[in-house]
Structure 1
Amino acid sequence: MGSKDAGSSPAIVLDDERPPPLPPRPSQTIEGGHAVTSVERPQLQSKPTTALSSMNIQTLSFPDGSRGTFSTNADNASTGADRIDVVPEESMRSRGLSMGGSDLDEAMSVMSFAPTLRPPGDLESLLVGDMSKRSPAWALLRAQSSAVQPFETVNSSKMAILTNFEHEFDDIPDVSENWNDEDRLQMWKSKLKHFMILSSAGKPIYSRHGDLGLINSSMGVIQTIISFYEGAKNPLFGFTAGDTRFVIATQGPLYFVAVSRLGESDSQMRAQLDALYMQILSTLTLPTLNSIFANRPSTDLRKPLQGTEMLLSSLADSFTKGSPSSLLGALECLRLRKSQRHSINNAFLKARSEKLLYGLIVAGGRLVSVIRPRRHSLHPSDLQLIFNMLFESGGIKSGGGENWVPLCLPAFNNRGYLYMYVSFLDGQAESEATPQTSADTDKEIAIILISTDKESFFVLQQMRDDVVTELKRKRLLELIKAAAQKGRPTIDEITPGAHISHFLFKSKANVQFCMPSLHRAFDGMVQRRRLMSLYHSLHATVHTKHSHLKVLNCVSEEATSLAWVTPIFELYCVAGPNAPRAAMAQAANKIIQWAKREEERLFIIGGGVF
């Protein structure tokens, strides 16, 4: 009994697992009562396609790195279509299957009879004919796609960050009936970039946005975090909170903090903090700064720095807007012929005074001429401080046509002062009430004479008069004004017919850079910031520590960009999102050839030496 039960139980299980039979298919009848056969049923208008043609496929690689597949001539293709034609009914019988007429008509499809085992190789698409042809409208759109400029396509996620960028530099109002502390704090938090300076004792020194009373608690939190890590002998260099990056730089008794949501790298923001530190040293000198905190670590540095807030803010704003000069660590020169620049240098040298250390002629923030001692040259960071003081802050221009300014150039000598005589030649600086526009700034011409003697004002003033007289006599001053008013060359003048919209070219040997005039696509402040953010991203990628990239090509839905770095130059260029890589490479080569051909016009090589 036991063995029988044991042997019969598997059979019972098998019976339970067998699927139940399908119900009989209801027959379709008409009024006569007989079933409708497949012959009598109305046929579908479209019939299955069972003939597949095998084709020889050739894959080609193009110079820009893309690939394409092409079929060979039909005459050379194999006659595989005869071998793979399949009759549906015979195919079903060969597989041991049978179908009624109605089942066959309803169930069969093209892919039901497509063979699954094929010889190696690509197959021609089943959908061939008119559907694979491009319409004239498609061809027209494709031809125009390369003309799409950068950032014309809208990326909502990226645009949301810069929605209120035009109000980034609006001042936060004081407490009033319409503005309480909570509203002011919310406005402060909405800013995309902050710069803060505080002492190691926690005393606030400077903040770009908001008064120190508003952000005193925030600075206290930052000072506590920094001190905690310093106490653990593990200095804090930066951290991330959400989409915000904090970068910290410690310079002696001072803490510099940059807070950004603009996607800049740590090294880029640290270079900006170093520039703010240099701006402070240009006012105090390093020995003075150290002695202040050596005697009283809790000293409030706002009094010694009184009057420099405008310089710090203009420098910080240039970083927020995007400064090619600070990004590349280089200067831009006014484009002039080699012979013309040589004549300007000679006129400068002819009027040189014995008290002169450095002499500069600057037009609209671009260097025209420099004369210097044989074994000395000014560092670009020092020149950027001078240009910021002259053309960005407005402090010197409001003083009239002539100024005598003591300042420290930290990269030259951070322990003492030099004395700078500044004279504007266009007369625009004499009106304090007249607002300065960017167009006016681009045309301003200034002569800068630097000396180590604080009593040499009148000597340098006479030298300035002699230089202007000589420049006017040779009609060189008119030439400088005309070149400044003409502005930078357009991209079409440099590379006619290229897809490039903008570029930055840096000559490493001369520590100078050039760029074309801004395309209409970058007219607005937001568009310019998006362009500079793209340049920041390229620069950060190719200059990342342990990076060995020489050429970088980036493609996004907004723009196509290229970075090319060699020991001789750096090139960054931007084009529309549909620009081919081959066209980008060709345009980059043209830009390099143009820069090499125009090198002595674009850059100051050596300058006037005495």
Structure 2
Amino acid sequence: MAPATESTGEEQRPPLPPRPSTRSASIDPNALQAHATTAVAPVEIQTLSFPDGSRGTFSSPGPKSASSPLESETASPDRKVSAIGADNDDAASVTSFAPTMRPAADIASLLAGEMNKRSPAWNLLRSQSSTVLPFERRRGNVDDRFADFEAEFAPLPDDTGGASRDAERLETWKSKLKHYMILSAAGKPIWSRHGDLGLINSSIGVVQTIISFYEGAKNQLQGFTAGNARFVISTQGPLYFVAISKLGESDSHIRSQLEALYMQILSTLTLPTLNNIFANRPSSDLRKPLQGTESLLSSLADNFTRGAPSALLGSLECLRLRKSQRHAINNTFLKLRSEKLLYGLIVAGGKLVSVIRPRRHSLHPSDLQLIFNMLFEAEGIRGGGGESWIPLCLPAFNNRGYLYMYVSFFDDVLGANKAADPISPDQPSAEQEIAMVLISADKESFFELKQMRDDVAQKLASNGSLTLIQNATRAGRIQTSEIAPGSQVSHFMYKSRANVQFCMASLEPHFTGLVERRRLMTVYHELHASVHSKNSHLKVLHCISEEATSLAWVTPVFEFYCVAGPNVSRASLTQGANKIIQWAKKEEERLFIIGGGVF
């Protein structure tokens, strides 16, 4: 009430109306209810959307919702996912989340105003949401982590020019978003992705001192955060592996990348050799034994920095072929097999086409990723062309000894037709090259494997199989619009857990640039980290941000991840996801190698 005025004979001023409360306690929780949102605890997560694209996430006591975004129209009372290539009893817990950018008082003032879901502006925005692609509508520097990402892989300036040049090189080194370092337990630098060891020697010394301090306290250091950078440390025998990331990746993802770098070293030295080097001289310099393999480490590290799907999912991508076509290729492989062959592979454009193997042995995906990195990412083998004979340790198969790998590209068979079409973003470096990889335990089997390669290549060329492989490689990945016409899903990844293989949509036309691809993979990394975190029991995860709407769905049979534009409704995203999953189940024998050729 307004204070009373003195009695002056004038009429007293009427009282002012009560001021609307801006306290969050005055907000009706039911007004904030997102009816399709389910929490994983007795606290219900509620998501409120505003016309300007922001989101507010709130929690209030209450029972869990009985609906799920992937349920059919007649949802079962116990909230179980309807059958979409998975068992009906696969329970789904759904959480919709986004950073809360506004205090409760600000939200209350918005609710009291005219900006609500019934306003014409809001309806117009919703009607146009399908035309907005992921990451297309950005506000200022909402996320400037990738502002200079295109310069991430550029080399540092040369070291000529004195102190000013050194300062420039150091600043450029610091500006990199992702660093990898390898050093020995004695503090000897071994390898660094960015910068020569002379430039960063002092930094490596600091890292070694910190790690040693924690080891002395019997409390091994796993990782720490400094500013906007995350440091992750992995100890592998006498070696320390360090990653410094400003890309917002989870520790588990970074740790798996460091494990792959360790596997790359073992593929060159074998575990006994590595241990023997440091057993007698802990201060040994490992740079000489690893000389010539720096490009393999660098290409592997750059692949991780770009956000490689195969590394994220721990699986391989296969070339999409008809079952009958793949069967014919496998049969040709098996009929012309050398007695000294252990494994045989045909690889095209970075994708697996065919594999033949002993009945009781199969190659681990991590070993195959090392082979793919050697063939299509590093310049060593592909740059030389022709054929190569390489002693190689496959650590997941046997980290104590060497196998021998014969590699040959089909240049002589494909001839002038090899690369007639423009290169698409789906083959950024491997392009359309087709290679045969033959692995043997016998170091004297080179000529037998060469003869096998010639016989198989001639047969595949004569029966048309090689042309089919070449055409499928040029066609690239399928677009989402071909699978689910009218769907608002812009991109997806689907992993078959039983086959440890995955497929994904074409990167064209929305994710053709390096930065756009990295943003896309960052969304997938965040989804994957959330559903696979140690204490998580989530099966379905729906995320809303100012840049994109995304979905993760994990069952014992498959893992599915997809991305759409901002403000795409959950129902629309779910409908598109269901169509894609049904297509993947139907096309399973074309998308994946099931069993392969066995002898």
> 1:456 is matched with which residue?
445
Distance in 1 of aligned mates of 2:429 and 2:4: 89
Residues 86-485 of structure 1 mapped to structure 2, 5 A cutoff: 141-177=125-161, 180-426=165-411, 438=427, 441-485=430-474
In the alignment, residue 449 of structure 1 is paired with which amino acid? Answer: L
Does the aligned pair in 1 maintain the 2:377–2:429 contact within 8 Å?
A: no
Distance in 1 of aligned mates of 2:182 and 2:414: 31
In the alignment, residue 582 of structure 1 is paired with which amino acid? Answer: A
Q: What's the CA shift for 1:132?
A: 11
Distance in 2 of aligned mates of 1:59 and 1:441: 50
Q: What's the CA shift for 1:590?
A: 1.1
In the alignment, residue 322 of structure 2 is paired with which amino acid? Answer: R
Does the aligned pair in 2 maintain the 1:198–1:205 contact within 8 Å?
A: yes
Larger Rg: 1
Structure 1 unaligned regions, length at least 5: 1-17, 27-56, 69-124
Does the aligned pair in 2 maintain the 1:155–1:558 contact within 8 Å?
A: no
Give the direction of change, closer, same or farther, for the CA distance of 1:58–1:325 in structure 2 (3 Å limit). closer
Equivalent position to 1:492, from 477, 481, 490: 481
In the alignment, residue 232 of structure 1 is paired with which amino acid? Answer: A
In the alignment, residue 159 of structure 2 is paired with which amino acid? Answer: V
> 1:535-577 CA distances to partner (integer Å, 9 max, x unpaired)?
1000000111111000000001100000001111100100001
Distance in 2 of aligned mates of 1:565 and 1:259: 29
> 2:499 is matched with which residue?
510
Helix, strand or coil: the match of 1:521? coil
Distance in 1 of aligned mates of 2:414 and 2:256: 31
Helix, strand or coil: the match of 2:144? helix
> 2:80 is matched with which residue?
none
> 1:335-367 CA distances to partner (integer Å, 9 max, x unpaired)?
000011000000000110001000000000100
Give the direction of change, closer, same or farther, for the CA distance of 1:479–1:25 in structure 2 (3 Å limit). same
Q: What's the CA shift for 1:146?
A: 2.1
Equivalent position to 2:573, from 584, 601, 606: 584
Q: What's the CA shift for 1:150?
A: 0.3
> 1:7 is matched with which residue?
none
Give the direction of change, closer, same or farther, for the CA distance of 1:354–1:141 in structure 2 (3 Å limit). same
In the alignment, residue 278 of structure 2 is paired with which amino acid? Answer: F
Distance in 1 of aligned mates of 2:415 and 2:254: 36
Give the direction of change, closer, same or farther, for the CA distance of 1:158–1:284 in structure 2 (3 Å limit). farther
Residues 1-12 of structure 1 mapped to structure 2, 5 A cutoff: none
Q: Normalising to structure 1: TM-score of the pair?
A: 0.78
Q: What's the CA shift for 1:140?
A: 5.2
Distance in 1 of aligned mates of 2:225 and 2:362: 39
**Aligned-pair Cα RMSD in Å:** 3.0
Does the aligned pair in 2 maintain the 1:360–1:371 contact within 8 Å?
A: yes
Give the direction of change, closer, same or farther, for the CA distance of 1:185–1:609 in structure 2 (3 Å limit). same
Residues 539-558 of structure 1 mapped to structure 2, 5 A cutoff: 539-558=528-547
> Percentage identity across aligned positions?
68
Give the direction of change, closer, same or farther, for the CA distance of 1:472–1:203 in structure 2 (3 Å limit). same
Does the aligned pair in 1 maintain the 2:126–2:567 contact within 8 Å?
A: no
Does the aligned pair in 2 maintain the 1:172–1:209 contact within 8 Å?
A: yes
Q: What's the CA shift for 1:61?
A: 8.8
> 1:110-139 CA distances to partner (integer Å, 9 max, x unpaired)?
xxxxxxxxxxxxxxx9999xx99865x875
In the alignment, residue 182 of structure 1 is paired with which amino acid? Answer: A
Give the direction of change, closer, same or farther, for the CA distance of 1:133–1:191 in structure 2 (3 Å limit). closer
Q: What's the CA shift for 1:521?
A: 2.3
Give the direction of change, closer, same or farther, for the CA distance of 1:339–1:550 in structure 2 (3 Å limit). same
Give the direction of change, closer, same or farther, for the CA distance of 1:150–1:61 in structure 2 (3 Å limit). closer
Distance in 2 of aligned mates of 1:439 and 1:533: 18
> 1:523 is matched with which residue?
512
Helix, strand or coil: the match of 2:593? coil
Distance in 2 of aligned mates of 1:430 and 1:186: 47
Does the aligned pair in 1 maintain the 2:495–2:560 contact within 8 Å?
A: yes
Structure 2 unaligned regions, length at least 5: 12-29, 39-45, 49-110, 417-422
Does the aligned pair in 1 maintain the 2:241–2:258 contact within 8 Å?
A: yes
> 2:598 is matched with which residue?
609
Q: Normalising to structure 2: TM-score of the pair?
A: 0.79
Distance in 1 of aligned mates of 2:452 and 2:373: 24
Q: What's the CA shift for 1:229?
A: 0.5
> 1:89 is matched with which residue?
none
Give the direction of change, closer, same or farther, for the CA distance of 1:133–1:304 in structure 2 (3 Å limit). closer
Q: What's the CA shift for 1:21?
A: 2.1
Q: What's the CA shift for 1:441?
A: 2.0
Q: What's the CA shift for 1:591?
A: 1.3
Does the aligned pair in 1 maintain the 2:406–2:449 contact within 8 Å?
A: yes
Q: What's the CA shift for 1:383?
A: 0.2
> 1:83 is matched with which residue?
none
> 1:563 is matched with which residue?
552
Helix, strand or coil: the match of 1:411? helix
Does the aligned pair in 2 maintain the 1:400–1:429 contact within 8 Å?
A: no
Q: What's the CA shift for 1:174?
A: 2.3
Q: What's the CA shift for 1:494?
A: 1.1
Distance in 2 of aligned mates of 1:540 and 1:244: 18
Give the direction of change, closer, same or farther, for the CA distance of 1:22–1:195 in structure 2 (3 Å limit). farther
Does the aligned pair in 2 maintain the 1:501–1:519 contact within 8 Å?
A: no
Distance in 2 of aligned mates of 1:488 and 1:133: 41
Give the direction of change, closer, same or farther, for the CA distance of 1:298–1:336 in structure 2 (3 Å limit). same
Q: What's the CA shift for 1:453?
A: 0.7
Q: What's the CA shift for 1:596?
A: 0.6
Q: What's the CA shift for 1:427?
A: 5.4
Does the aligned pair in 2 maintain the 1:398–1:430 contact within 8 Å?
A: no
Helix, strand or coil: the match of 1:225? helix
Distance in 2 of aligned mates of 1:364 and 1:289: 33
In the alignment, residue 462 of structure 2 is paired with which amino acid? Answer: R
Q: What's the CA shift for 1:145?
A: 1.7
Does the aligned pair in 2 maintain the 1:338–1:600 contact within 8 Å?
A: yes
Q: What's the CA shift for 1:147?
A: 2.2
Does the aligned pair in 1 maintain the 2:316–2:502 contact within 8 Å?
A: yes
Give the direction of change, closer, same or farther, for the CA distance of 1:451–1:496 in structure 2 (3 Å limit). same
Q: What's the CA shift for 1:242?
A: 1.3
Distance in 1 of aligned mates of 2:582 and 2:5: 81
Give the direction of change, closer, same or farther, for the CA distance of 1:293–1:471 in structure 2 (3 Å limit). same
Distance in 1 of aligned mates of 2:270 and 2:123: 65
